[in-house]
Chain A
Amino acid sequence: MSDQTHANLLEIGAAVRTFRTPEGGIVAALDEVGLAVRANEFLTLLGPSGCGKTTLLRAIAGFEDLDRGDIRLDGVSLAGVPAYRRPFNTVFQSYALFPHLNVADNVGYGLDVKQLARHERDARVAAALTLVGLEGYGRRKPKQLSGGQQQRVALARALVNRPRLLLLDEPLSALDRNLRQAMQIELKNLQHEVGISFLVVTHDQEEALVMSDRIAVMNGGRIQQVGTPGEVYDTPANRFVAGFIGVSNVYAGTIDRRDGSLCIVRTDGGIELWARSAAFAAGARVDFMIRPEQIRVDVARTAAQAPGLEATVERLVFVGADLQVHARLADGSPVQALVRHRRTPVEGLAPGSAVRLEYDPEVVHLMAAQP
């Protein structure tokens, strides 16, 4: 995967797609979107609803035309190629299983329309059903299956055609929480097993982090950042990505001065923060970000070496493994920290108590402020 330009399976170049709203306005669902899907990777399009991710998926599948830009498979443009001639298959959000066909005929549909020989068709259908753990379900009708089973049928129906790229539109959104978490791992394993690139659309950041090789974060019709789950979590490109993936504390400010590789940031509220970064010069406008789990809550308020902030606890939220500490800094801006839950309550940690929040300047992430 070192030579990326040749490893790219699918390339989307400057894709633009606008829609007319009922009020007469024009909305860009895709605004100069560029993206490359590599061979044999699990790529997730992550973003809030209305960010354009589904439009992009539908454009790749061939259900949506682009106003401008192009989509290339192995370097060849797909413009004008109808959906039924594209070597991609889709797992629809509603699964879209054919209600009048049984499971085997649903899975065999793509092979039947290509008029594959009967014995090969049956063998491949059986193999696909085994792959998704549904052997023996061939004669059932979709209505007789649970949601999770229907989803597996939809997967088998797509994979049996050995597509170059599998497109999945919110594949897990209709499943309940436990099943969804199990399927996240299973989808990832399945992708590894079949060696087909998966392009998954989701609005669930946790799902994206668990499953993906890479995540493309979208908002407002634009790609905000493409990177590994670690990259988008630890070094988000901007305030939107920082806020959309995980919980973050972000403070707008200016680089006050530099001390070697240490930047001293003065927030707009007048608080001084430290960060290790070589990317910004003094005077630059930045967004300072730190994750709650990187903050230590010092109840005793012993003056330590690490930089710290005085804060007042507002409320404590118990979420099982962790205790969320919601507090306010001296200038009134909110801050969130995590304390690992222990069965004995932490002395002195209660709403109203003053605490010192410590952090390591190494793990702070500075982002260029957006205009």
Chain B
Amino acid sequence: MTTLAGSRRLRLAALLTPVTLLLGSCFLVPLGIMALYSFLTPGLYGGVEWNFYPYNYGRVLGAPLGDVEDFDPVYIEILLRSLRLAGTVVVLTLAVCYPAAFWVSRFHGERKSFVLFLVTLPFFASLIIRVYAWMLILRPTGFLNLVLESAGVIDAPLQIIFTEVSVVAGLVYILLPFMFLPIYASVEKLDPALVQASEDLGATPWQTFRRVVLPLTLPGVIGGSLIVFIPAFGNFVVPALLGGAKVMLVGNIIEQQFLAARNWPFGAALAMLILGTVLVLMLIYVLRIGRGGVAAGAKA
């Protein structure tokens, strides 16, 4: 008995060692360094001085250090804008993927595999190239304006690129598969007999959706929302290329602080603020929406 339990423990340890090492060295340690740096004094020419310095956070939150640094509300504005855009991206991807998942789940065999292959197809091309393609579509002399002008819908090219619209469009495009796959997984698991049972018991199609379909697919919706919201919030490639200097998101500021301004402690502080915001929001989201749904989904 003891040898059996012992060998099981050994096997478990062997299985968990790689993931522990990987996450520990590539995730926890850098995160710790970031957290530490965010409380250090920025060096004059980059790097850090090893003094405790809370004003990296003070700059953003409204408690700067006298005349050395100013409180600038722009950082909070950017943070709020990032939240708003990420929320919009979640809503839009959800609106596209939820019905699409039901549609795809009705397919069978090779057709279904083919559609799922199409969903993952964008991953085969570089993210940068795909975002550049959107620049070609959205710019004033681009494909979209060309079509609209020749169709007579507009007289002058629309300024779409370098607006929030183009940033949201780009993020939605990039993140669609991440919303689709978890939702599809939960829709696929939904037993069609349950929908029929609901109808059979007198529920209208809307009641069936509210009382059976939505609660049972909610785990997928929550999962998809989380995996879309987090990268949408921190993304810097899409806003850099499609938003230009006009639509800065937190990701761009952080990138600037690390690469251009060489103010690592301030960049680290911003990154920690994002992390904290995301964690708090996720917690609220999961607790409020997920309370019934996740429990049901885990059982389903």
A residues lining the B interface (CB < 8 Å)? 61-63, 82-85, 88-90, 92, 94, 96-100, 109-110, 112-114, 141, 143, 157-158, 161
Q: Are A100 and B203 in contact (CB under 8 A)?
A: no
Q: Are A96 and B299 in contact (CB under 8 A)?
A: no
Segment of B113-121, B140-148, B192-200 in the binding face: B192-200
Chain A proximity of B193: nearest CB distance (Å): 4
Q: Are A89 and B201 in contact (CB under 8 A)?
A: yes
Residue of B with least CB distance to A143: B299
If the complex has contacts A100-B216, A113-B207, are A82 and B193 also in contact, measured as CB distance less than 8 A?
no
Chain B proximity of A162: nearest CB distance (Å): 11
A113 contact from B201, B215, B216, B300, Cβ within 8 A: B201
| B residues near A110, Cβ cutoff 8 Å | 201-203
Q: Are A96 and B203 in contact (CB under 8 A)?
A: no
Chain B proximity of A78: nearest CB distance (Å): 14
| B residues near A157, Cβ cutoff 8 Å | 201
Chain A proximity of B197: nearest CB distance (Å): 4
Most buried by A among B199, B201, B205: B201
Most buried by B among A83, A92, A94, A99: A99
Q: Are A84 and B199 in contact (CB under 8 A)?
A: yes
A94 contact from B193, B200, B292, B293, Cβ within 8 A: B193
A83 contact from B199, B212, B300, Cβ within 8 A: B199
Q: Are B201 and A109 in contact (CB under 8 A)?
A: yes
Q: Are B212 and A98 in contact (CB under 8 A)?
A: yes
Q: Are B196 and A113 in contact (CB under 8 A)?
A: no
| B residues near A94, Cβ cutoff 8 Å | 191, 193
4 shortest A-B CB distances, which residue pairs? A100-B296, A110-B201, A96-B197, A96-B193
Residue of A with least CB distance to B292: A100
Chain A proximity of B165: nearest CB distance (Å): 38
A-B pairs with beta carbons under 8 Å apart, 12 shown: A62-B199, A62-B200, A84-B204, A84-B205, A92-B193, A96-B191, A96-B194, A100-B216, A100-B292, A100-B293, A109-B198, A143-B299
| B residues near A85, Cβ cutoff 8 Å | 202
| B residues near A96, Cβ cutoff 8 Å | 191, 193-194, 196-197
Chain B proximity of A302: nearest CB distance (Å): 61
Q: How distant is the Cα of A83 from the Cα of B212 in the complex, in angstroms?
A: 16
Q: Are B199 and A98 in contact (CB under 8 A)?
A: no
Chain B proximity of A144: nearest CB distance (Å): 10
Interface range, B side: 20 to 34
Which B264-297 residues have C-beta < 8 A from chain A? 292-293, 295-297
Q: How distant is the Cα of A141 from the Cα of B205 in the complex, in angstroms?
A: 24
B246 within 8 A of A: no
Q: Are A161 and B193 in contact (CB under 8 A)?
A: no
Q: Are B202 and A61 in contact (CB under 8 A)?
A: no
Most buried by B among A61, A82, A90, A141: A90
Q: How distant is the Cα of A62 from the Cα of B203 in the complex, in angstroms?
A: 13
B8 within 8 A of A: no
| A residues near B293, Cβ cutoff 8 Å | 100
| A residues near B9, Cβ cutoff 8 Å | none
Most buried by B among A63, A113, A141: A113
Q: Are B299 and A98 in contact (CB under 8 A)?
A: no
If the complex has contacts A99-B296, A100-B296, are A92 and B202 also in contact, measured as CB distance less than 8 A?
no
Most buried by B among A63, A82, A85, A110: A110
Q: How distant is the Cα of A97 from the Cα of B200 in the complex, in angstroms?
A: 12
Chain A proximity of B195: nearest CB distance (Å): 9
Q: Are A109 and B300 in contact (CB under 8 A)?
A: no
Q: Are A84 and B196 in contact (CB under 8 A)?
A: no
Residue of A with least CB distance to B296: A100
If the complex has contacts A98-B212, A100-B296, A100-B299, are A90 and B204 also in contact, measured as CB distance less than 8 A?
no
B211 within 8 A of A: yes
Q: Are B202 and A100 in contact (CB under 8 A)?
A: no
| A residues near B296, Cβ cutoff 8 Å | 99-100
| B residues near A141, Cβ cutoff 8 Å | 299
Q: How distant is the Cα of A84 from the Cα of B198 in the complex, in angstroms?
A: 8
| A residues near B193, Cβ cutoff 8 Å | 92, 94, 96
Chain B proximity of A147: nearest CB distance (Å): 16
Chain B proximity of A199: nearest CB distance (Å): 14
Q: Are A99 and B196 in contact (CB under 8 A)?
A: no
Per-residue A-contact encoding for B191-233, CB less than 8 Å = 1, 0 else: 1011011111111110110011001100000000000000000
| B residues near A109, Cβ cutoff 8 Å | 198, 201, 203, 211
Q: Are B191 and A161 in contact (CB under 8 A)?
A: no
| B residues near A143, Cβ cutoff 8 Å | 299
Q: Are B299 and A84 in contact (CB under 8 A)?
A: no
| A residues near B191, Cβ cutoff 8 Å | 94, 96
Q: Are A92 and B196 in contact (CB under 8 A)?
A: yes
Q: How distant is the Cα of A89 from the Cα of B199 in the complex, in angstroms?
A: 9
Q: How distant is the Cα of A90 from the Cα of B200 in the complex, in angstroms?
A: 7
Q: Are B299 and A82 in contact (CB under 8 A)?
A: no
| A residues near B205, Cβ cutoff 8 Å | 84
| A residues near B216, Cβ cutoff 8 Å | 99-100
